[in-house]
Amino acid sequence: MELILYSSKRCNVCTAIKPKLEEVAAKYGVELKEINIEENPAEAAQSMVFSAPTLILKERNSEVKRWSRVFSVSEVEEFLARIL
């Protein structure tokens, strides 16, 4: 499984949550990948991401869960704890 954080350089929330997401990902053995939506607009559009932060959990290239704009790291951790 992998978590993909779609972020932006101008997104202060993205900067704030990234270290916490790294901790959660490591705790559950999930790879965390970051994609800057300004530098990679085609990749963001392909995943239907239009705002930051957006976090997508994927398994075998299929989307399992999506969090967008307003979410807490604890929500992500609780979801991972339930499914892993």
Q: Please list the alpha-helical segments (H only) found in the chain.
A: 12-28, 41-46, 73-83
Q: What is the rounded CA–CA span in Å between residue 45 and residue 29? A: 27
| DSSP structural state of residue 56 | E
Give residue-wise pLDDT tens across range 10-41: 999 999 999 999 999 999 999 999 999 999 99
Pairing relation of β-strands 2-7 and 31-36?
parallel
pLDDT of residue 15: 96
How high is the pLDDT of residue 55?
98
Task: Give the global pTM.
Answer: 0.94
Of 60, 56, 12, 65, nearest to 34 (Cα)?
A: 56
The CATH code that applies to domain 2-83 is: 3.40.30.10
pLDDT digit string (tens) for 52-82?
Answer: 999 999 999 999 999 999 999 999 999 999 9
